[in-house]
Structure 1
Amino acid sequence: MVPGEYSKMMPQAVYNVELVSSTKSIKHELWPLDAIDPVQAKFPCCLVWTPLPVVSWLAPFIGHVGICREDGVILDFAGSNFVNTNDFAFGPVARYLQLDREKCCFPTSLAAHKCKQGYQHSQFGTAITWDDGLQSSKRYLEHKSYNLFTCNCHSFVANCLNRACYDGSMSWNMINVAALILWKGHWVDGMSIVRSFLPFVLVVCMGIAMVGWPFLIGLSLLSLLLVGWFIMGTYCIKSLLEC
């Protein structure tokens, strides 16, 4: 090598390394989650569901929903200006569904969005990590009044999923959150199934014994009215169910 050649090559080499480093995108690392532990009530990155007293006795498809942090701690909107932490309201978890963080959009800037609605996502409020999204939604719902028919636990979960743009969607609402956990959720154990449906079966049997088949017709109409209300409010008159 000719003397001085090495020193001439050094600045170019350093420049190339710096150029590659500066243009390299920073990727959010998703560390491994702990195993799901129903005994300790730890459900990392899961949606969780439990039946509601009285309400689920008449309509077993209606229940209380929460969402869990990466460490498995449950958060749930349980009352006006109040989001529970690690104290799931209305009893232990009966069903759960673990969500894939790879399906979320955690941008560090507007240019880093991997979802198709980057600007809308930024305007709504983005999350840079799973727990960051839950914490932002918690602060938002802590200033809202709870109402079973307009602003409830499903609203909180939908807000969390929209901040993370889960599955590339910002259209999460009461209806599709409920459908997701009811259709794809896993039962914790056999006793959870009994706890969820036995009161409803007993109410139906007692109603038929005391009133007859008209009781079953009335109960069916009640369920249709509830489903109709949430569908109409969610998709037809959105301002009714926005909180």
Structure 2
Amino acid sequence: MYKTLVTESNIDMGSECAVIDIPKNRYPFCIVWTPIPFLTWLFPVIGHMGVALSSGVIRDFAGPYYVSEDNMAFGNPTKYWQLKHSNATGGVSGWDRAITEASDIYKERMHNLFCDNCHSHVATALNIMQYKKSSNWNMIKLAFLMLFFGKYVSFVGFLKTWLPFLIILTIILALTLTM
């Protein structure tokens, strides 16, 4: 059902959306998101973000001076948001070049949970490619856009995101009502 393949001909023919292969973790032209244990359990809109090359290989700022490739820091994506490569300056090659440049920049940066993090890495890539002719991408904007436009990879992806929060909330409510 989810298995689709990305081929050069799909991209060269000007297709706006390359095909996603969820079982193989290939998300071409996508921003991807996955929960961070404990943090997402308490605040389900906060998680870990990465961005995928045209091949679908994911890059994510996984820690100080480290950008992971094809192995997200907190597990496989549970959400994705596919963008249009035609909105990137330079098209497909501009998309890949910007992600590579942003990754090179972040390989030399200290990770900061509040100011310079995985969301900032993705925003930098979008700014470099001037996605939608904009260089005003930032971590807050991306967090909200992913919240509203991101699609869950499956029902299990939805549960991984929301079930721990709902369990904690239920426990808190149960304890509050018994007092």
TM-score, L = length of structure 2: 0.86
User: Quick check: 2:31–2:52 contact (8 Å CA) kept in 1?
Assistant: yes
The residue aligned with 2:5 is none
Superposition pairs of residues 96-111 of structure 1, within 5 angstroms:
96-106=80-90
User: Quick check: 2:127–2:134 contact (8 Å CA) kept in 1?
Assistant: yes
Amino acid at match of 1:141: Y
Matched, 1:165 2:144: no
Q: Distance in 1 between matches of 2:145 and 2:19?
A: 21
Q: Distance in 2 between matches of 1:79 and 1:66?
A: 12
Shift of 1:133: 0.7
The residue aligned with 1:45 is 29
Q: Comparing both chains, which one has the higher relative contact order based on Cα–Cα distances under 8 Å and sequence gaps of 6 or more?
A: 2
If each structure's strand is expressed as a fraction of its own residues, which one has the higher value?
Answer: 2
Matched, 1:31 2:15: no
Shift of the 128–43 alpha-carbon distance from structure 1 to 2, 3 Å rule, reads closer
RMSD: 1.8
Q: Distance in 1 between matches of 2:117 and 2:134?
A: 20
The residue aligned with 1:191 is 156
Aligned match for 1:208, one of 159, 173, 179: 173
Which residues of structure 1 form unaligned runs of 5+?
A: 1-29, 108-126, 214-243
Amino acid at match of 1:203: I
The residue aligned with 2:57 is 73
Matched, 1:92 2:76: yes
User: Quick check: 2:51–2:58 contact (8 Å CA) kept in 1?
Assistant: yes
TM-score, L = length of structure 1: 0.64
Aligned match for 1:151, one of 87, 109, 116: 116
User: Quick check: 2:18–2:29 contact (8 Å CA) kept in 1?
Assistant: no
Superposition pairs of residues 99-138 of structure 1, within 5 angstroms:
99-106=83-90, 129-138=94-103
% identical equivalent positions: 35
SS at match of 2:56: coil
The residue aligned with 1:142 is 107
Q: How many residues align?
A: 164
Amino acid at match of 2:126: L
SS at match of 1:129: helix
If each structure's helix is expressed as a fraction of its own residues, which one has the higher value?
Answer: 1
